[in-house]
Chain A
């Protein structure tokens, strides 16, 4: 465990001494703010419209969770598809390029300690990113009454999704010593995972169900609605564990060649 923390600590620090961390954090918060502002403005105009129409039935159904927070979380998740692989791209690829991979692998470390340390370091960074966007829902709590449970469920979903992305990004980084290749293959893999359910409606029943199950968005959408089902938690856990397991094999594979 000490070794895992040592590696994670170095990883996390290395984010903050390079400009990447600040660029990514700023970009993410800037986009988040832009989404938030526009969603709120739209919500406001819808609210005004239906108040003028004096349509109490519709007005009752308008709420902050569904009209502001849910789309905000969905938009943020799309941005994470692109940004998380950019964060994780250097993780192992850079070590290979700089030759420090040899240092790690000739130290009395287990491969699992290296992989978990790398994962933990990136996870903490991404968790900070996600947590900082919490400021937007907090603003809503100050001026309105969103449902706390739904907001927390949605954020748990966003965090789990981001964590899965970190694990997959790390896997992509383990295959190559080229950071660009790591980032691009990571983004492509995540996008596919994101939209793999698109043909689900036209595919057969079984395949359709399978595609829907595979798509990370389906599980995320449930959590954004505030539905926390063990089925979805199991899905995220499976993705994370599987990606870490494959990363482990990939790092270990230097010993097979």
Chain B
């Protein structure tokens, strides 16, 4: 469903993502972990067609992210780190606008709005201005926006950040519900979240994938926290090795 091969992204001299490869099967929830600045957001932006990679390829639902960008964008739902909301619009008109620019046929739009409003629990805020919504609701509208065109692939960049515990639990169960046939990529640095809802884990550190494994196999070799710390520590050791190699 999703295949990333040797993705590299440079900004001038800074390498944000280097040689990243991983894949996710249909219906899988993939936890995308890593410390801040590890390259998670950059990778997600490449997958969603916001920015191109410097080199490497990525396929979403069988379409190449670079050469068939429009097809990919039609099939992907994306919740960036800050939900992309227009403060001056109310929930319903906003969702209608998103449905239109996602290229949905006119006849399907109203039903789709009903569906995501119910799914994301937005019934009480349908007519409220997005700028006046609480953080939890903003996040949910962001999720609704990503879901409106019923995409087979969902990319969620830290969907639970800044929420209170009750909201976190709600969003989590929502994501679990959503999965089903969909492939979900979920970036986060809340480890328990990953062990609760993900079937697969990819850990990225300093732009490199340091671990890609199924959740079931992972938990056999210790708790996710241990695995995470080990993966990151190992990377730092290898780092010095690689840089001397590059110099040589």
Chain A contacts to B: CB under 8 angstroms: 2-3, 6-7, 10, 14, 17-18, 98-110, 254-257
Nearest chain B residue, comparing its CB with the CB of A255: B52
A157 and B100 CA atoms in complex are apart in Å by 35
**Beta-carbon contact of A106 and B101 below 8 Å:** no
Query: With A107-B73, A108-B70, A254-B51 as given contacts, are A102 and B80 in contact (CB-CB < 8 Å)?
Result: yes
Cβ–Cβ < 8 Å partners of A3 in chain B: 100-101, 103
Question: Which residue of chain A has the shortest Cβ distance to B52 in the bound complex?
Answer: A255
Residues of B close to A17: CB separation below 8 A: 88-89
Q: Is the CB of B87 within 8 A of A257?
A: no
Contact of A14 among B49, B83, B88 (CB under 8 A): B88
B-chain residues with CB within 8 Å of residue A108 when the two chains form the complex? 70-71, 73-74, 101-103
Interface of B (DSSP majority class): loop
Q: Could you list 25 examples of A-B contacts with CB < 8 Å? A: A2-B100, A6-B97, A6-B100, A10-B97, A14-B86, A17-B89, A98-B84, A98-B86, A99-B80, A99-B83, A99-B84, A99-B85, A103-B84, A103-B98, A103-B145, A104-B101, A105-B50, A106-B48, A107-B98, A107-B102, A107-B103, A108-B71, A110-B70, A254-B51, A255-B51
User: Is B201 on the interface with A (CB-CB < 8 A)?
Assistant: no
Given contacts A98-B85, A100-B86, A110-B70, 4 further A-B contacts (CB under 8 A): A6-B97, A102-B45, A107-B101, A254-B50
Shortest C-beta distance, B41 to chain A (Å), equals: 10
Number of interface residues of B (CB under 8 A): 30
Residues of chain B within 8 A of A257, CB atoms compared: 11, 51
Give complex CA distance A165, B136 in Å: 41
B contact residues around A6 at 8 Å (CB): 97, 100-101
* CB nearest to B81 among chain A residues: A99
Q: How far is the CB of A252 from chain B (nearest CB, A)?
A: 11
Whether, in the assembled complex, B82 has its beta carbon less than 8 Å from a beta carbon of chain A, the answer is: yes
Residues of chain A contacted by B70 (CB below 8 angstroms): 108, 110
A108 and B149 CA atoms in complex are apart in Å by 11
Residues in chain B near residue A100, CB distance under 8 A: 84-86
* Residue in contact with B78 in the complex, picked from A7, A18, A102, A256, CB distance below 8 Å: A102
Closest to A103 in B: B84
A2 to B, closest residue via Cβ: B100
Within 8 A of A (CB), among B44-81: 45, 48-52, 70-71, 73-74, 76, 78, 80-81
Cβ proximity bits B137-180 to A, threshold 8 Å, 1 near / 0 not: 00000000100000000000000000000000000000000000
List 7 A-B pairs, minimum CB-CB distance, nearest first.
A103-B84, A99-B82, A100-B84, A106-B48, A108-B73, A107-B101, A108-B74
Shortest A218–chain B CB gap in Å is: 39
Which of A99, A108, A109, A110 has the most chain B CB atoms closer than 10 A to its own CB?
A108
| Chain A residues, Cβ within 8 Å of B98 | 103, 107
**Complex: A17 Cα to B145 Cα, angstroms:** 21
B9 (CB) vs chain A CBs: closest residue: A257
Q: Which chain A residues border B49 with CB–CB below 8 Å?
A: 105-106
Nearest residue (CB) in A for B66 is: A255
Contact at A98–B87, with CB atoms within 8 Å? yes
CA distance A98 to B83 in the complex (A): 9
With a cutoff of 8 Å between Cβ atoms, the chain B residues found around residue A110 in the complex are 70
Determine how close the nearest CB of chain A comes to the CB of B101; give it in whole angstroms: 4
CB contacts (< 8 Å) of B80 on chain A: these are 99, 102-103
CA gap between A98 and B81 in the complex, in Å: 11
> For residue B11, which residues in chain A have a CB less than 8 angstroms away from its CB?
257
CA distance A7 to B145 in the complex (A): 16
